[in-house]
């Protein structure tokens, strides 16, 4: 699906509707593709009232969405799987109702079976393409 920032609310709603049964969403995309922007919109539609920001330096942010626990992780600064384990990402993935992960390619072996893999491509400054590889 190709989209613009103006269409992100519709995209977020469609992703929630189609993939609500997937507890872990992994976002594969280059820097500046809009991973955090899309995750923030999904969180908003799920009922998160706090400001959703990139957890680049904290590695992980926790949000409440109408009684559901959401973790938003950013593995960009993680060097390898061992470091990811030391930060507690596995425990967080196990305990969260929903988990969004940016830069999952930094520790791919930690992604459990059944993780929703979302890939975003930058087509031009205004357009993005999101797809779920088969």
> Where residue 53 sits, what CATH number does that domain have?
3.40.50.300
Pair 97, 118: CB distance under 8 Å: no
Which tens digits make up the pLDDT trace of 74-92? 999 999 999 999 999 999 9
10 found inside a domain: no
CA distances from 94 to 12, 69, 87, 99, 134 (A): 23, 11, 14, 9, 25
Domain total of the chain:
1
2 found inside a domain: no
Domain containing 104: what range? 22-131
Question: Percentages helix, strand, coil for the chain, rounded to the nearest 5?
Answer: 35, 30, 35
116 found inside a domain: yes
User: At 134, is the pLDDT very low, low, confident or very high (cuts 50, 70, 90)?
Assistant: confident
Which tens digits make up the pLDDT trace of 38-47? 999 999 999 9
pTM of the model: 0.93
């Amino acid at each position: 699906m190709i989209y613009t920032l103006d269409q992100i609310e519709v995209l977020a709603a469609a992703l929630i509707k189609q993939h609500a049964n997937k507890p872990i969403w992994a976002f594969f995309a280059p820097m500046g593709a809009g991973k955090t922007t899309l995750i923030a919109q999904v969180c908003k539609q799920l009922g998160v009232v706090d400001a959703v920001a990139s957890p680049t330096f904290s590695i992980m942010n926790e949000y409440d969405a109408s009684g559901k626990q959401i973790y938003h992780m950013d593995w960009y600064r993680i060097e390898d799987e061992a470091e990811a384990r030391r930060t507690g990402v596995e425990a967080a993935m196990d305990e969260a109702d929903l988990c969004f992960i940016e830069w999952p390619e930094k520790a791919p072996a930690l992604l459990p079976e059944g993780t929703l893999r979302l890939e975003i491509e930058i087509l031009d400054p205004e357009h993005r393409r999101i797809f779920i590889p088969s």
